[in-house]
Chain A
Amino acid sequence: MKINTEEVEKIADLSRLNFTPEELLRFVDQFQKILTHCAQLEMLPTDDVEPTYHAFAEELTTPMREDRVGTSFSSEQALANAPDAAEEYFGVPTVIE
């Protein structure tokens, strides 16, 4: 599969990443190499194969517990690492003008 600059730009946009034109070119090249390697999977017939998303699905059950009130982080603790916070809120740039 051939990949072009526009496609890489689109993925960069979805990923919320900015690249300089030089970085973008380098990415296109590396992308191409990696995807060419991964293209070998196309050769394998897998029509009747179920996908595995978890190595251990057989043992996995949804763990249930009683709904009890417990202790949690305080607002101060939860906000302590925030680059910007005021009162009980995270601070961000203007969302709606």
Chain B
Amino acid sequence: MIHHLSIRELRDAILCKECSVTEVIQGFFDRIDQHEEKIGAFLSVDYESALAQAELLDRKLARGEAGDGLLTGIPLGIKDNIVTEGVKTTCGSRILENYIPPYDATVIRKLKKNGAIVVGKTNCDEFAMGSSTENSAYFTTQNPRDLERVPGGSSGGSAAAVAALEVPGALGSDTGGSIRQPAAFCGVVGLKPTYGRVSRYGLVAFASSLDQIGPLANNVGDVALLLRAIAGSDARDSTSVKRPVEDYLKDLGKDICGFKIGIPIEWFTSGLDPQIEQAVRRALKVLEGLGCSVQEIHLPHTEYAISTYYIIAPAEASSNLARYDGVKYGYRGSDDTNLEDMFRSTRSQAFGEEVKRRIMIGNYALSAGYHDAYFMKASKVRTLLKRDYLEAFKEVDFLVGPTTPSLPFKLGEKKTNPLEMYLMDVYTVTANLTGIPGLAMPCGFSQEGLPIGLQIQAPHFEEAKLLRFAYGLEAELSIQHPPLVLDR
């Protein structure tokens, strides 16, 4: 059963000639054919191109070439807000329904250089705005752990595809929790790297000071491998940071004894589902057993994080989304009037409700008379949040807590209440506002069999240490995933 293998196992099997790349790709396509109708993780799947690349790789491998890539022959899903040359990239929006990018994002170039094969583009909330993938203009994605529930969002398609074993790994993007929250909801591992660790060139911009691309996979080791392949500075993204990329696999398996863990007490409030709290506290006991010290810590401005985020992110979005005007690419509305009305009809017809709401909030927060009260105020509170974290990391190595306050909710349950949906992001937005890395990993299952995600946050650029720590915890927890409904 090829689809049960990890990325590292698949790569080894390919390099040892236990199976061909074509067999691997075909194996995952069989899985997609079998289950995709129920899951709806992919907006598009490119069979022909993926199989052609697989054959080419097989021929190269037979000649003793192409074996040095980190991801030789590995099929991956890519969130549809990351541009892929010659392959339609919609961002889950009608406004880009026909957009075929003339170039690859830097992360795609790096993946291809390492021998990975992009098999399809995954569903997401429109322009990555949402926490359930229900804001996709195309269709909703079902959670493979419970088909009546949302997979989380906005990288819900990537998380669902990985959880359903349709691909062994995927890329998502995280602006306020969009990798970590769906990873938690689907029971997979997801990492938002430090801001600037991974190039954003070719990631369709939502909120430029918060957006970051990151990997999702079924285990910590595979996430480390994917990060190693995509990380690094890039001349095409001036916010990418010129620091050497570490070997994130090097320290995996080393003991994690002696690490100092902080539990932010502000994260364990009445809004937290008791089953989640229980599972997280159980994991903390396990960490103590491994020789880590656990102490309570304060992040005093936590209660202001959501407000801060939901001013700054829409403000940046309203500026970034001004480019969709029906001129250069994508949908165009009524053409028979004047230019100004063409802009209006294009945007009104082809943006979805949540995107319009955020453009409106953003423009309001930036408009004359309100700029100081909203945008400037939020930017100052962002400084206070950053100080909270700098103080905390003087005392501890990591912060550990829940990824989400609630278990995966039912499809349609929160769709009509935007504010309630925003509150889902309470534990994740701070990592984006402060730029630090955050990783979500399964730490148990609820009585109903729903996944529970633990979150680990680390200081800027400490991904190597973070992954070593998560790997150690994962091994000790050794969570037994119940069989997927698909496979029962």
Contact mask for chain A residues 74-96; partner B; CB cutoff 8 A; 1 contact, 0 none: 00011011111000001011110
- What is the minimal beta-carbon distance from A85 to any residue of chain B, in angstroms? 10
- The answer to whether A41 touches B326, judged by C-beta atoms less than 8 angstroms apart, is no
Are B342 and A15 in contact, with the CB atoms below 8 A?
no
Given contacts A49-B384, A59-B241, contact A11 B360 (CB under 8 A): yes
Residues on B with C-beta less than 8 A from A90 are 327-328
Q: Is the Cβ of B360 less than 8 Å from the Cβ of A56? A: no
Which of B18-26, B266-274, B351-359, B401-409 is the contact stretch?
A: B351-359
The answer to whether B379 and A52 touch across the interface, beta carbons within 8 angstroms, is: yes
Is A34 in contact with B418, judged by CB distance below 8 angstroms?
yes
Number of interface residues of A (CB under 8 A): 50
Q: Contact check: which of A16, A35, A46, A55 meets B381 at CB < 8 Å? A: A46
Contact B303 A40 (CB under 8 A): yes
In residues 15-32 of chain A, which contact B (Cβ within 8 Å)?
15-19, 27, 30-31
A54 to B196, CA, bound (A): 11
Contact check, A27 vs B357: say whether CB atoms are below 8 A apart: yes
Question: B238, B360, B379, B383: which contacts A8 (Cβ < 8 A)?
Answer: B360
Q: Is the interface of B mostly helix, strand, loop or mixed?
A: helix
In chain A, positions 38-86 with a C-beta closer than 8 Å to chain B are 38, 40-42, 44, 46, 49-56, 59-60, 62-63, 65, 73, 77-78, 80-84
Instruction: Give the residue name and chain of the A residue nearest to B309 (CB).
Output: A38
Q: Do B384 and A44 have beta carbons less than 8 Å apart?
A: yes
Given A17-B348, A92-B339, the answer on whether A38 and B367 have CB atoms closer than 8 Å is no
**Least distance between A64 CB and chain B CB atoms (Å):** 10
Q: Which of A8, A34, A41, A56 contacts B419 (CB 8 A)?
A: A34
Provide the residues of chain A in CB contact with B335, threshold 8 Å. Answer: 83-84, 93
B238 to chain A: which residues have CB within 8 Å?
Answer: 60, 62-63
Residues B239 and A60 in contact, CB atoms below 8 Å apart: yes
Q: Please state if B377 and A41 are interface contacts (CB–CB under 8 Å).
A: yes
Within the complex, what minimum Cβ distance (angstroms) separates A95 from chain B?
5
By the criterion CB–CB under 8 Å, are B383 and A51 in contact?
yes
CB-defined contacts of B11 to chain A, threshold 8 Å: none
Q: Does B278 contact A (CB under 8 A)?
A: no
Closest residue on chain A to residue B332 by CB atoms: A83
Cross-chain contact of B379 among A44, A51, A95 (Cβ < 8 A) = A51
| B111 at the binding interface (Cβ < 8 Å) | no
* A49, B380: Cβ atoms closer than 8 Å: yes
Within 314-355 of B, Cβ neighbours of A (below 8 Å) are at 318, 325-332, 335-345, 347-348, 351
B244 interfacial contact with A, CB 8 Å:
no
Nearest residue (CB) in B for A63 is B238
Contacts of A17 in B (CB 8 A): 344, 347-348, 351, 356, 359-360
Q: Is the CB of A55 within 8 A of B367?
A: no
Indicate whether B378 reaches chain A with its CB closer than 8 angstroms.
yes
Cross-chain pairs A/B with CB under 8 angstroms, 5 sampled: A14-B363, A56-B195, A59-B241, A84-B332, A93-B336
Interface residues of chain A, those whose CB is within 8 Å of chain B, are: 1, 7-8, 11-12, 14-19, 27, 30-31, 33-35, 37-38, 40-42, 44, 46, 49-56, 59-60, 62-63, 65, 73, 77-78, 80-84, 90, 92-95
Interface residues of B (CB under 8 A from A): 98-100, 102-103, 195-196, 209-210, 235, 238-239, 241, 301, 303-304, 306-308, 310-311, 318, 325-332, 335-345, 347-348, 351, 356-357, 359-361, 363-364, 367, 373-374, 376-384, 386, 418-419, 422, 432-436, 460
5 additional contacts, CB 8 Å, given A33-B418, A41-B377? A11-B367, A15-B360, A41-B378, A44-B381, A55-B436
